[in-house]
Amino acid sequence: MGGPFWGGLLLALVIVLGIVVWSIRRHRDPDLHIECDAPIDELIDSLAGLTLNTAVAGNRWEVHENGAFFDVLLERIRAARKTVHFETFLWKDGTLGRRVAAALSERARAGLKVRVLLDAQGSQKAGKEVVQQMRDAGCRVEFFHKRALRNLGVLNDRDHRKIVVIDGSEAFVGGHCVTDEWLGNAEDGKHFSDVSLHLHGPIVHSLQGAFSENWGGETGELFVGNDVFPRLEPAGDVLMHAVFAKPENSAPAVKILHHTAICMARKRIWIQNPYFIPEPDAIDAFGCAVKKGVDVRVLMPAIAGSDNPMVQHAGHRNFEKLLRCGVRLFEYPHTLLHQKIMTVDSVWCAVGSSNFDDRSFETNDEISMGIRDPALAERLDGIWEKYAARAQEIKLEEWVRRSPWEKLKDNATYLINELL
């Protein structure tokens, strides 16, 4: 038999192997449906249970925006006395990265257990010198899903979480990444906007558990004791639950959280998200909400403000359908709005690392906090209004008149939206 036969056979085997790997690794993607009559603030236990966690009372929060977040974070790292656990997706060498590395290194030299988990893809530009500096100081630095044969089936699965847990008694969670664009106050196109929460109370155990999940998966190390899981007394009166589970035989918890909350809304849904590419079932859920009288608004970066214009093009593909459903869409052209926030009925909110797209809802490891608190919802809606005042609302009659070239780009990029 000639060379073409063997070449064709090899190609067929590669294709079959690829299909097998995809089939093994893919997560189920059911069309989600729910019927409920009670308001969302009465259904927190249901939301927590559906997302494989338990609602925890007795917590308090602080909101930190833009570069000011790192002033607080670094201060608290320097005040740590026993352990520091740091997990992030994106870390690039620069002024901010070196500041964070210096703070972590100083605590490790002081004898603390400092564990740092970086995504191997997102943090590939963290800088060898910076990583080595932390390791030389005594930090244990590990990379999630490094390029290796043993990781062949999970190379597309990234750790997109942003979690810091200090002494097991306080935690930070949100969207902030460790690159110089997150410095400043979103004052221009070179400085991004973002929101993270500083949490105290029993909920910190859930965040420590989320960190432990991927740390244990990469290192095999399990940590126990009061240095990491101390007894936590109530620190406030806010009910919260952490959402991060990604079971193989069901939809990931972050997807269930967002979809269920949309279906529970009675008055309004306000979303801030940098990468907004809802699936068809989510678009239908938004449409049903509007028909019930719910005010649905989405604030996102415009192409001019995005760090990844292809994502915005992919999102544009469904704008006409969303607008016809009655969803109001706003684009901010001045810089990247990176906060991942959804508020519902002015009483509940989701804050975390999850984008509103297939990659976050189906593939990445993410974390979101479900929180019942009118005061927090009011604070986050205030952030929405601050940026919306300088955003452009997309109108249906203007949108449908876009050029064929723009529509072609939108449809072409949507074909690869799960890889963006």
**Is 410 marked active-site?**
no
The SS3 assignment for 156 reads coil
64 - beta bridge partners?
196
Is-catalytic flag, 313?
A: no
The residue annotated as part of the active site, out of 160, 198, 205, 313, is 160
CB 24 within 8 Å of CB 153: yes
Active-site hit among 176, 316, 340, 409: 340
* Ramachandran class of 225: left when φ > 0, alpha when ψ lies in -120 to 50, beta otherwise: left
Which residue among 338, 358, 365, 381 is the active-site one?
338
- The answer to whether residue 334 is catalytic is no
Write the DSSP string, 248-301.
Answer: TTS--HHHHHHHHHHHH-SSEEEEE-SSB---HHHHHHHHHHHHTT-EEEEEEE
Query: Are 379 and 194 contacting, i.e. CB atoms less than 8 angstroms apart?
Result: no
CA 84 – CA 394 distance, rounded (Å): 44
Q: Of these residues, 85, 145, 162, 255, which one is catalytic?
A: 162
SS3 99: helix
Per DSSP, the three-state class of 349 is: strand
Distance CA 288, CA 34 (A): 12
Catalytic-residue membership of 31: no
List 159, 167, 381, 410, catalytic entry: 167
Neighbours of 24 (CB within 10 A): 10
Q: Which amino acid does the sequence have at 165?
A: V
Hey, which residues are catalytic here? 160, 162, 167, 338, 340, 345
